[in-house]
Structure 1
């Protein structure tokens, strides 16, 4: 079996592993909504139309318009890894260790990062509904979900395609109630997907692989405030020697010396997405090189690469996204 045949054989299997393990693959577009472009671009189908107008017995129908366009957007990120199995460590047939190595890599590294990046991008989209709240028990979770469903109902977001991403702990707190009320609120969502808290943040940092790999909850950064007056309950900081200290009693006269901490990742309680409100896409590639071709060692080399559109949220469908997070 040559190198190309091996890569061709395993890529569909890796795609299967990815789709089974991913919590957010339900948001991925198909050929009807997503087309691959070139130069790091991807085309997203966008449909919009005018509403009703008066019918005139003299002039007939109002002349509205329907717009179906392919909107070109940039991929968010390219990620990669170089996976190796030493020749002498690989006593079995190549397929067995590669299947285990690549499958585990997809399940434990690629999928969690991709889920986390997608959720973070959707949650940080301007214009969606967000609510900061600490949910301590099942009753509070039910009330929060009721507020979400009521908001979407009032905005006429279709019930039959609302996807709820929620942490296992919060889902369990609802199940433990086992009441008519708890069952009723869950019926307002077409799909309920449990996502570990480690993938549910409003912002993440993707490590570049020079010193650290994977991702982590975003720690944020300090930037000079642009406020012209003190904002009530907002935290301001002063800087001295690279150390930032919170200002206990901020004053307007000192505003030009203050900093704000922005971009901090916060724990997401749940995220509701109506399926047509956002779309995701991922392209995955692998290459294989035998130990005789390995120029850096004596290993079987499997190079993995992906290209991601973590999420594109349609500006005319933002009513279909609701994020509850812990302040």
Structure 2
């Protein structure tokens, strides 16, 4: 078996699935525009141009400039695990199937939720720091619609009425809208593009897509366990003692810029593996999210608990 080719195929499929499975997958930059050759660095396209100028009847158009360049970003989240399969349980014939199944499940249940949690908490922290957040609201049927409309209006006062917005909402809060006979009339089904798939999601007034997210991913602060420190051996993530619950996050669709990449995977057959008579796989995921300061001003976060 060609372990390098197998690792490349699995890696490619994992990256594609990560975008489609993450509730925050819509934040991912179009991978065709991103340059990635491995490691923690990624190159993201940046476009800047001059604004309109007066047309001169004598000299004609005023020359403008367009600056298109790739900006190098370093992903701060460097996470991974090593897995092994005993050679008596898995042979070369079924290794690919077993490895693909195990790694796919690992990504779906462990990796994707962590990526979501990191992104939402990062956006929340940035908004709270900039004063683009409100706290102390417990969602209920009588007031949720008014609260949501006020927060949307606060964002539209800055970005205008025609900027596409995305509302990321706690699934339990979203249920209040969906289960209310009165409020549900405000919701429509809308096509929502994420990666290579088009999802059917509920939208407010048929305009603003509502992306429901499980409560465990909607906190303002997390501990991302290192897997080594006592009490953190199992890895993963958990809310900190000071974390607060996010009701919803309102952002222009193009405000957050996120990237997640599976670094070059390595597969070792039992003859090569020095640690045990077993197949071994090294999985390493780099990811991060960036929101320019001027874009944070265009976002808004609503938090259940009072903000300090």
SS of the aligned residue for 1:139 comes to coil
Structure 1 residue 55 displacement after superposition? 7.0
CA distance in 2, matches of 1:179, 1:87: 59
Which of 250, 266, 272 is the aligned partner of 1:293?
Answer: 272
Structure 1 residue 165 displacement after superposition? 1.1
Q: 1:183 and 2:195 equivalent? A: no
Q: 1:275 and 2:278 equivalent? A: no
SS of the aligned residue for 1:8 comes to helix
Structure 1 stretches lacking a partner, 5+ long = 220-263
Structure 1 residue 132 displacement after superposition? 0.8
Whichever of the two has the greater Rg, that structure is: 1
Deviation readout 1:183-218 (Å, 9 max, x if unpaired): 168127543211111111112121111042011112
Structure 1 residue 32 displacement after superposition? 6.7
1:220-259 aligned within 5 A: none
Aligned to 1:249: none
Q: Is the 8 A contact 2:19 2:28 kept in 1?
A: no
CA distance in 1, matches of 2:37, 2:294: 23
Structure 1 residue 17 displacement after superposition? 3.0
Structure 1 residue 20 displacement after superposition? 3.0
* Change over 3 Å in CA distance of 1:157–1:38 after alignment to 2: farther
Structure 2 stretches lacking a partner, 5+ long = 188-202
1:139-178 aligned within 5 A: 139-157=142-160, 159=162, 161-178=164-181
CA distance in 2, matches of 1:148, 1:214: 32
CA distance in 1, matches of 2:302, 2:243: 13
Structure 1 residue 111 displacement after superposition? 0.4
CA distance in 2, matches of 1:37, 1:303: 18
Q: Compute the TM-score of the two structures, normalised by the length of structure 2.
A: 0.79
CA distance in 1, matches of 2:283, 2:69: 33
Q: 1:217 and 2:239 equivalent? A: yes
Q: Is the 8 A contact 2:40 2:78 kept in 1?
A: no
* Change over 3 Å in CA distance of 1:134–1:23 after alignment to 2: same
Structure 1 residue 2 displacement after superposition? 1.8
Structure 1 residue 145 displacement after superposition? 1.3
SS of the aligned residue for 1:107 comes to helix
RMSD: 2.9
Which of 306, 315, 318 is the aligned partner of 2:285?
Answer: 306
CA distance in 2, matches of 1:319, 1:186: 22
* Change over 3 Å in CA distance of 1:3–1:181 after alignment to 2: closer
Q: 1:99 and 2:100 equivalent? A: yes
CA distance in 1, matches of 2:185, 2:146: 9
Q: Is the 8 A contact 1:159 1:189 kept in 2?
A: no
Deviation readout 1:13-69 (Å, 9 max, x if unpaired): 323432332111110012576434887433333445566677777898788766555
CA distance in 2, matches of 1:321, 1:315: 10
Aligned to 1:248: none
